Structure 1
């Protein structure tokens, strides 16, 4: 594969070596952050899979598409940037470009579907309350099919893939519309159905949501909050979705502007450095989604904190140090043995080892991971088991 790239002039970088080194360095940082953030987000989602809301399915799908883009693009773009030329030949260039279009369009279509779901739940609650996880899965499948149509088009000779104008990566051939009608039709359809239409839907959806919120705060509280009134989960999803959409569109809009300039104007007048800068911003979109949701969504953040705390406690139990304070669970077990007293729950069942691994910092509230969804409450010096539904609303929100 390397011989083709050595002989073709389109695979030679047209920007300075300093710019290529900067691109390679930035791509390396984006790759590490994206791998770390998206893998953690998917792990947290796996841990709380049974309690995911339908709208959160799109967050998970967005993370999958971002991870796909990271794995398929960065390992090829980074060494090519540092080498000042595309290293992997024509066939790999076609695959690289198809993956970039597939995962990029999937992310945009996913955000469009998410905005519609948020609008449906807030502005049309009678219909939104019927939206289920199965509906979300169908929409997610539709998102991938929609993106696949446009990603496979150039491979079927509707449009073309080629090297980027700056030479160290591949994407759609933006010069082809200047001299080929089929390529022009592909670019027009791509712009209308994969940029202008999704952006319009996203803008209108969140505009309707804003008008609904301003028009009736009481109605929004009723529509957005779950029936248990424990949290404003859907309202938070709306806010975070807006943040992700702004970040994603902000990252991809410069590339769309430069691409349209090349496709519908004089392509020779577009500086390669403009494409390079726009590509850097576009690839940075892979890190926004996990940053927003892991840092700003309480239940994701609590789940991550709970898992890391449990891991630290297990590590401490595995290699205890004489001068370290024992974890709460270990202290409780040792005190039980010293007192020779078997602590029992209110239902008469003896406490199982590790039942209190997920306590709050003061040790007063623990989540017991059983199918019965129970919790244990510290009353005096003993723990009593209760069902989660019997707890106050605020404590239910903390646990769930």
Structure 2
């Protein structure tokens, strides 16, 4: 999300042949397969086409990148599809909050299928390989998926804030929930639409007999238009959602803590609210942490394009992109770990016999009753992810 046009030059730093001159006018070129939501034009620069020190072209590095992307794609697709399936299969899970969680899962599926495969191919080949139509469609669809995720986070937080902090017993109806979800996708499409409008598909002649295909942003006035759009989308996709979620969940947590300390405050309903709130806060924190490095490098590019000249910048950016995309596959693991309803639904679907207690989690029927500590260690999370996703 929020890729700058300058980033395209870093991502396309290895053309088919070693050349130092381009017979082409200055164009605004953007990486259209990095889940982008904005781009900043940059004139073609021989420095970025030198192809020097690009470690992503090393065989060993490419093998690691391929394995990383494939792992995220498989876990993301299977896990999020499972979340969607269990919510619509079991009536007890058909709540407004879970419908919004399904919306998150759908947006994560979009990112798994529209961002990761195309990003991997683009990183390996260093040019746009997907034709004219996808040049206009993919950037908009990618950005729309990211907007849907962040807007849905805000809606969930504000809805729970309304019902818990203000003690409103009237819940959002399912019809209203459906209307809000449709509006979320419509607003997201509108915010992402400039990436489909201000775009050009072109061929750059590198030398006689050598050329590359690029998917270019072409803003109507100047490169500053792209920079302003990039910064605005950074605020809309990251800064504003974090501010809204932090405010809402801090007030929710304060209210629940205050209630639990009062006489008679530890009833089942408030225990469930605390557990659900803790799960949702964890999902938001994971999203914020995984996307932070990616957004930081985007902001650095917008502020100073000289960072593109850093050694192994392309590899660094790709690693940050992989970390950001991890957020699309960890949510089902978090649901299975932190929410009893999802855990029971996953168990019923996969027909594995989980015996859970406060001190221990036994995985039987799948792992011959291997005993696993209940503390949220990385190994426990991995075990839950494998059992909840692979066997379901």
Q: TM-score, normalised by structure 2?
A: 0.65
Which residue of 185, 189, 210 corresponds with 1:144? Answer: 185
How far apart, CA to CA, are the structure 1 residues paired with 2:93 and 2:67? 39
- Please list, as runs of the form range in 1=range in 2, the aligned pairs for 1:64-75 lying within 5 A after superposition: 64-75=106-117
Deviation at 1:183, TM superposition (A): 1.1
Contact 1:240 1:293 in 2 (8 A): yes
* Unmatched 5+ stretches in structure 1: 163-169, 312-400
Q: Deviations over 1:72-117 (max 9, x none)?
A: 2333334444556553245434433222211122111111211112
The residue number in structure 1 matching 2:238 is 195
The residue number in structure 1 matching 2:358 is none
- Please list, as runs of the form range in 1=range in 2, the aligned pairs for 1:232-251 lying within 5 A after superposition: 232-251=271-290
The residue number in structure 1 matching 2:175 is 134
How far apart, CA to CA, are the structure 1 residues paired with 2:70 and 2:275? 32
- Please list, as runs of the form range in 1=range in 2, the aligned pairs for 1:190-269 lying within 5 A after superposition: 190-217=233-260, 229=268, 232-267=271-306, 268-269=308-309
Deviation at 1:255, TM superposition (A): 1.0
Deviation at 1:281, TM superposition (A): 1.1
The residue number in structure 1 matching 2:26 is none
How far apart, CA to CA, are the structure 2 residues paired with 1:171 and 1:252? 24
The residue number in structure 2 matching 1:87 is 129
- Please list, as runs of the form range in 1=range in 2, the aligned pairs for 1:11-26 lying within 5 A after superposition: 14-18=54-58, 19-26=61-68
Contact 1:248 1:285 in 2 (8 A): yes
Deviation at 1:67, TM superposition (A): 0.9
Partner of 1:125: helix, strand, or coil? coil
How far apart, CA to CA, are the structure 2 residues paired with 1:218 and 1:172? 58
How far apart, CA to CA, are the structure 2 residues paired with 1:116 and 1:53? 16
The residue number in structure 2 matching 1:120 is 162
Q: 1:161 to 1:249 in 2, by over 3 A?
A: farther
- Please list, as runs of the form range in 1=range in 2, the aligned pairs for 1:27-106 lying within 5 A after superposition: 27-49=69-91, 51-83=93-125, 86-89=128-131, 91-106=133-148
Matched, 1:183 2:226: yes
Q: Deviations over 1:250-275 (max 9, x none)?
A: 11111111111111222544622332
The residue number in structure 2 matching 1:333 is none
Contact 1:20 1:84 in 2 (8 A): no
Corresponding residue pairs, total: 295
The residue number in structure 1 matching 2:380 is none
The residue number in structure 1 matching 2:349 is 307
The residue number in structure 2 matching 1:156 is 197
* Unmatched 5+ stretches in structure 2: 1-14, 23-28, 32-48, 203-213, 354-392
Bigger relative contact order, structure 1 or 2 (CA pairs below 8 A, ≥6 apart):
2
Q: Deviations over 1:265-304 (max 9, x none)?
A: 2254462233212111111111021111123211122122
